[in-house]
Chains A and B, each alone.
Chain A
């Protein structure tokens, strides 16, 4: 998987489809949103990709705790890092979108606040790791904290924003993803796998780089 080609080609095809069909395809006409509804393919895909990357990170953290294999720790860390990048981009794109549709770049919407809290919890994961010098300790405590950070995604972005009144669609018990079919045919086959695979791609590059540098360090030390 790490060095295979087919899913990278798939990623490119999906994203090209997203960008072409996303701009040229017909979209439902809605007041307030107008053409900005096309942000659906970009802004929302950022959050979904972040969630997928965090789930993969969680899986590797659990695998690390079960096996104590140091490689899984690297995997978990890099997936979390890319997830944070996607989350930050989701936040920035959402802020830009809100500025021109809801009238303010930040309006303390429950979903906005929840997303910020979730991202801060994940940023603390990086800080926590770097505060320890012992490799095993860092990996184990990091893995445990990563599981906790993932658990915090449930209240902060999946539950509370749904329960309360929100500017976002999906507030107050509505389903979050129930868009027009014209949006679905670009979002699900195009934007979702495309952006998520791009995140995975970048992460695998970082993992490989990390493994390489560790190998080099090891070779140096035995010389």
Chain B
């Protein structure tokens, strides 16, 4: 049962990723209209944190977030192992 759910989920995700291949060639202006307040403001292009990335500082944030993520994974994995051990003991 759970196996089926899992494979269905994966199929679903890749199904939605598939249109990417087609969408890449097109200009994405039409799609952008979906979002609110999408018109380009009069004052030139929209300001994004490009310089921060160019300076390389965004990698610091990525490193921090990845460390937290890895720590959480480690915690969950250890919990998983602990429960597995308990299951073995109670058999």
Contact = CB atoms under 8 A, between A and B. Distances in A.
Interface of A: 1-3, 7-8, 12, 15-16, 19-20, 23-24, 27-35, 52, 56, 59, 63, 167, 169-170, 174-175, 177-181, 184-185, 188-189, 192-193, 196-197, 200-202, 205, 208-209, 212, 215-216, 219
Contacts of A179: 31, 34
Given A34-B46, A34-B48, A180 B31 contact: yes
A47 to B, nearest CB: 15
Given A1-B3, A169-B34, A189-B14, A20 B9 contact: no
A32 B37 contact: yes
Contacts, number: 122
* Interface residue range, chain B: 35 or more
A178 B26 CA distance: 14
Nearest to A21: B62
A16 B68 CA distance: 11
26 contacts: A1-B1, A1-B6, A16-B66, A23-B58, A24-B53, A28-B28, A30-B35, A30-B37, A31-B40, A33-B35, A34-B48, A34-B49, A35-B49, A59-B5, A170-B34, A174-B34, A177-B16, A181-B20, A181-B24, A184-B16, A184-B17, A185-B17, A188-B14, A188-B17, A193-B10, A208-B83
* Chain B contact residues, majority secondary structure: helix
A29 B41 CA distance: 11
A96 to B, nearest CB: 16
Contact of B69 (A1, A19, A31): A19
B24 to A, nearest CB: 6
Interface of B: 1-3, 5-6, 9-10, 12-14, 16-17, 19-20, 23-24, 28, 31-32, 34-41, 45-49, 53, 58-59, 61-62, 65-66, 69, 73, 76-77, 79-80, 83-84, 86-87, 90
Contacts of A30: 32, 35, 37-38, 46
A119 B55 CA distance: 42
